């Protein structure tokens, strides 16, 4: 079974080739680490799945067939890079998490008891209940990330995309987010997470994909992180230092 299927996706920004015939399947109940140097196309891949960027070729399928109702439930949660978010926006932490419920709201668009309950549970899981009334911009970097993870939890997404969720995050918030992601995966969520922290990958993910416009390697983490692959993707072996 496939939770997310990316088929032969190519994206250009004007003359810049950002993604070159990328195909990737995500299974439910799994965590896949997406690695690659700056500019390798990781954020573009997320934006293509979210429909923010339109691919020149290829397609993205969520929920891998099944009934239309099943696909509708199978929403995709997205935790963008911090730079993509307007932190001055006048929303409280609770409001941000509630935006995850928009796909669930009924015809009146007013949150109901079960929407409030889902938000309460999500805030509790990321330990932000005490800060829920604060304006989102008045949180620390790690707390902001946790707020967006809570939004995805409230959404009950079956696919979750996280773009560098550990950038600027301390070890404690990182550990909180890592164990939450594992719980979500154990509950069936398919997770794709970009990271520059190669050392943390074995603790974080079940599988790794190495991107440089094209997919250079995909599979078992130890195999993907083999020096020859890293040299191809980064020009150096980031786990060892420059190649002489």
Question: Footprint of ligand ATP on this chain (CB under 6 A)?
Answer: 13, 16, 18, 36, 38-44
Q: C-beta of 229: minimal distance to ligand ATP in Å?
A: 16
Q: If you search the block for the tokens 């911009």, which residue do you land on?
A: 137
Does residue 206 contact residue 31 with C-beta atoms inside 8 Å?
Answer: yes
139 token code pair: 């949180």
Does residue 208 contact residue 224 with C-beta atoms inside 8 Å?
Answer: yes
Pairing of strands 207-212, 214-219: antiparallel
Q: C-beta of 43: minimal distance to ligand ATP in Å?
A: 3
CA distance 190 to 202: 17
182 versus 196: smaller Cβ distance to ligand ATP: 196
Contacts 24+ apart (CB under 8 A), 81-87: 81/43, 81/163, 81/164, 81/167, 82/141, 82/144, 82/145, 82/167, 82/168, 84/163, 85/144, 85/148, 87/136, 87/137, 87/144
Q: C-beta of 127: minimal distance to ligand ATP in Å?
A: 27
39 versus 66: smaller Cβ distance to ligand ATP: 39
Q: What is the DSSP track for 191-240?
A: EEEE-S-TTTHHHH-SEEEEEESEEEEEE-HHHHT-HHHHHHHHSSBTTT
Q: C-beta of 34: minimal distance to ligand ATP in Å?
A: 9
Q: C-beta of 124: minimal distance to ligand ATP in Å?
A: 31
161 versus 180: smaller Cβ distance to ligand ATP: 161
41 versus 165: smaller Cβ distance to ligand ATP: 41
Q: C-beta of 212: minimal distance to ligand ATP in Å?
A: 9
CA distance 137 to 144: 8
98 versus 233: smaller Cβ distance to ligand ATP: 233
183 token code pair: 């719980």
38 versus 108: smaller Cβ distance to ligand ATP: 38
CA distance 87 to 196: 23
Q: C-beta of 35: minimal distance to ligand ATP in Å?
A: 9
138 versus 199: smaller Cβ distance to ligand ATP: 199
């Amino acid at each position: 079974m496939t939770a997310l299927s990316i088929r032969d996706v190519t994206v250009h920004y004007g003359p810049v080739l950002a993604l070159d015939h990328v195909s990737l399947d995500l299974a439910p109940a799994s965590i896949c680490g997406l690695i690659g140097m700056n500019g390798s196309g990781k954020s573009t891949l997320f934006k293509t799945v979210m429909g923010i960027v339109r691919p020149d070729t290829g397609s993205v399928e969520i929920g891998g067939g099944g009934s239309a109702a099943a696909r509708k439930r199978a929403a995709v949660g997205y935790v963008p890079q911090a730079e993509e978010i307007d932190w001055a926006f006048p929303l409280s932490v609770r409001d941000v998490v509630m935006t995850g419920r928009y796909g669930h709201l009924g015809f009146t668009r007013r949150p109901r008891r079960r929407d409030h309950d889902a938000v309460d549970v999500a805030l509790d899981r990321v330990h932000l209940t005490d800060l829920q009334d604060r304006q989102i911009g008045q949180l620390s970097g790690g707390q902001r990330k946790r707020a967006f993870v809570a939004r995805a939890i409230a959404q009950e997404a079956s696919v979750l995309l996280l773009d560098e969720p550990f950038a600027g995050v301390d070890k404690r918030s990182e550990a909180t987010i890592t164990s939450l992601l594992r719980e979500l995966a154990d509950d069936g969520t398919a997770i794709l997470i970009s990271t520059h922290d190669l050392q943390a990958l074995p603790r974080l993910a079940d599988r790794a994909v190495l991107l440089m416009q094209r997919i250079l390697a995909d599979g078992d983490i130890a195999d993907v992180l083999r020096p020859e692959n890293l040299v191809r993707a980064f020009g150096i072996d980031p786990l060892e230092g420059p190649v002489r």
